[in-house]
């Protein structure tokens, strides 16, 4: 399992004492409705090394996001809002692409995109030739699963109840095409330790000795539980099982170490917690594992090139170009600072909710097993209809936006995901709503 120190060393973010690259707080033509507060020119936003950023710093960071005043948004897990400087850059890149059109696309874009790939690979501590950009993690993972060629008739593919539905469907389809079996396992709810999660996989492997391919999610989208992927992968590889890791909610959210996963295949997003424009993800294939993934759609390109494994067609060039600007912003905040912040926001509401009768919290408090995302349900209310109704109640009566999640063995639930644009009063608002709902229920 990757340690936080390893994560910092790999991403080069052990120190983030950089002023945010924000420029003027507001200017004529700015898309922001309200002025942004400019940091004092003579002082960095971040505190002295060894001291955690204070609330003033986080208020400055939150001010870099233009949020709706229609509702309090605690559903930051769908995709990441672009910060103001990233949005400005995206608009500039869009204007350039539109202005220069095919001349730019055919003469310069590939070089620019390759530079972005090299930067992403360097931050992930992998080779550029092991990364291919996709439109999202789902597309990357569908390619990895659908083109996996080592599965034989009668062997088994395996996934858990907490894995993403589209990836479960892809595993089912692969098994059907190859006349293989499908095995599923249920993750303990709430998991008490990393060891308990690993034990669940070990028992599943014992029960299905012909397992060839495992899908495992790092930070899952249903309850927010973080799986000890490195430990699970080590257990799987010892049994000859290949592992595909769904890391859609990982990079920029929690300590993320691709090498520490020990897996040959990873799908991830850049438009969620990295804050790049909507429509960009990435596929990682370790060079040694490339042969097990067929080329896409009969591609005749090099067997040794990852780009032959994923075809997206024409994509939004400006989105790819803006990845650099998103990385600049995230690094200026500091990934470790960000992780601590969103976890703090999560703890503000979870700590209070745990004291309420009838409110079930579905993740533990172990910092290795949870980040910003945590789901809850009102005790005994496990149906989709009940949880969708509660989402409507939170929105219509309390002005709080959340989302219902389904497919968990223990029943449906409601996911809460604070982001950098949220401040403590947003979570206090949720606590008050839950307290009121629990009292009415009791």
Burial class from Cβ neighbours inside 10 Å (0-12, 13-18, 19+) for residue 54 reads exposed
Nearest to 33 by CA among 87, 94, 93: 87
Q: Residue 110 has which token pair?
A: 């590939």
pLDDT tens string 343-392: 999 999 999 999 999 999 999 999 999 999 999 999 999 999 999 999 99
pLDDT (tens, 9 = 90+) of the chain, 442 residues, equals 444 444 444 444 433 433 444 333 332 333 333 333 333 332 335 555 666 789 999 999 999 999 999 999 999 999 999 999 999 999 999 999 999 999 999 999 999 999 999 999 999 999 999 999 999 999 999 999 999 999 999 999 999 999 999 999 999 999 999 999 999 999 999 999 999 999 999 999 999 999 999 999 999 999 999 999 999 999 999 999 999 999 999 999 999 999 999 999 999 999 999 999 999 999 999 999 999 999 999 888 889 999 999 999 999 999 999 999 999 999 999 999 999 999 999 999 999 999 999 999 999 999 999 999 999 999 999 999 999 999 999 999 999 999 999 999 999 999 999 999 999 999 999 999 999 999 988 6
β-strand pairing of 211-217 with 242-247: parallel
- Does residue 78 fall inside a structural domain? no
Q: How many CB atoms lie within 10 A of CB 107?
A: 10
Domain count, the chain: 1
Q: Which pLDDT score, from 0 to 100, does residue 300 have? A: 87
In this structure, the dihedral spanned by the alpha carbons of residues 239, 244, 250 and 251, taken in order and rounded to 10 degrees, is 110
- Asked, for residue 295, whether it belongs to a domain, the answer is yes
Query: For residue 170, which of 141, 150, 149 has the smallest C-alpha distance?
Result: 141
Cα gap 324→103, rounded to integer Å: 22
Strands (E), 180-235: 181-185, 211-217
- 93 found inside a domain: no
DSSP letter (8 states) at residue 43: S
| Structure-block tokens of residue 235 | 């257990």
Q: Tell me how far apart the alpha carbons of residues 229 and 159 are, in angstroms, rounded to a whole number.
A: 13
Burial 365-404 (b: 16+ CB within 10 A, else e): eeebbbbbbbbbbbeebeeeebbeebbeebbeebebbbbb
What the block records as the tokens of 195 is 């060891």
In a domain, 218, yes or no: yes
341 contact partners, CB below 8 Å, separation of at least 6: 53, 58, 420
User: Residue 285's domain spans which residues?
Assistant: 100-325
In a domain, 316, yes or no: yes
Which pLDDT value is given to residue 104?
98
Residues whose CB falls within 8 Å of the CB of residue 214, separated by 6 or more in sequence, listed in order: 157, 158, 159, 201, 232, 236, 241, 242, 243, 244
CATH of the domain at 148: 3.40.640.10
Distance CA 150, CA 210 (A): 13
Residues 210-264: pLDDT tens digits? 999 999 999 999 999 999 999 999 999 999 999 999 999 999 999 999 999 999 9
What pLDDT is recorded for position 47? 56
Token pair for residue 266? 């990873």
Whether the predicted model's global pTM rises above the 0.95 cut: no
| Per-residue model confidence (pLDDT) at position 33 | 30
Residues 339, 320: contact at Cβ < 8 Å?
A: no
Question: Which pair of structure tokens corresponds to residue 407?
Answer: 């497919």
In a domain, 291, yes or no: yes
Q: Which of 58, 62, 55 is nearest to 83 (CA)?
A: 62
Q: Dmax over Cα atoms in the chain, in whole Å? A: 67
Within a domain: residue 319?
yes
Residue 22 lies in a domain: no
* 3-state secondary structure at position 98: helix
């Amino acid at each position: 399992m990757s340690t936080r120190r390893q994560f910092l060393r790999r991403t080069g973010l052990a120190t983030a004492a950089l002023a945010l690259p924000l420029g003027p707080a507001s200017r004529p033509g700015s898309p922001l409705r309200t002025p942004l507060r400019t940091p004092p020119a003579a002082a960095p936003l971040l505190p002295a090394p060894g001291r955690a950023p204070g609330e003033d710093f986080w208020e400055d960071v939150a001010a870099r996001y233009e949020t709706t005043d229609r509702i309090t948004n605690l559903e930051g897990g769908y995709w990441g809002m672009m910060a103001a400087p990233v949005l400005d850059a995206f608009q500039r890149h869009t204007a350039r692409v539109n202005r220069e059109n095919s001349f730019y696309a055919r003469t310069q874009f590939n070089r620019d995109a390759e530079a972005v790939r090299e930067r992403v690979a360097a931050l992930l501590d992998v080779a550029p030739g092991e990364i291919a950009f996709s439109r999202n993690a789902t597309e990357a993972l569908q390619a990895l699963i659908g083109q996996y060629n080592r599965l034989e008739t009668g062997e088994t593919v395996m996934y858990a109840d907490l894995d993403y539905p589209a990836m479960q469907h892809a595993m089912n389809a692969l098994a059907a095409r190859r006349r293989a079996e499908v095995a599923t396992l249920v993750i303990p709810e709430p998991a008490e330790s990393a060891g308990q999660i690993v034990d669940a996989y070990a028992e599943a492997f014992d029960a299905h000795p012909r397992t060839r391919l495992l899908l495992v999610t790092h930070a899952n989208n249903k309850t927010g539980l973080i799986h000890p992927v490195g430990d699970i992968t080590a257990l799987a590889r010892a049994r000859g099982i290949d592992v595909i890791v769904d890391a859609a909610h990982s990079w920029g959210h929690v300590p993320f170490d691709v090498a520490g996963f020990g897996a040959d295949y990873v799908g991830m997003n850049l438009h969620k917690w990295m804050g790049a424009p909507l429509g960009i993800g990435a596929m990682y294939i370790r060079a040694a594992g490339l042969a097990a993934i067929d080329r896409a759609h009969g591609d005749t390109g090099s067997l040794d090139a990852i780009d032959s494994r994923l075809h997206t067609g024409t994509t939004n060039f400006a989105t790819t170009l803006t990845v650099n600007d998103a990385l600049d912003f995230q690094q200026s905040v500091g990934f470790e600072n960000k992780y601590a912040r969103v976890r703090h926001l999560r703890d503000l509401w979870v700590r209070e909710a745990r004291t309420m009768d009838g409110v079930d919290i579905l993740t533990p408090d172990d910092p290795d097993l949870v980040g910003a995302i945590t789901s809850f349900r009102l005790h005994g209310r496990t149906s989709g209809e009940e949880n969708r109704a509660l989402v409507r109640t939170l929105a219509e009566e309390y002005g709080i936006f959340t989302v219902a999640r389904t497919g968990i063995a223990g029943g449906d639930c409601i996911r809460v995901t604070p982001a950098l644009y949220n401040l403590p009063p947003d979570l206090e608002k949720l606590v008050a709503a839950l307290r009121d709902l629990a009292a009415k229920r009791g």
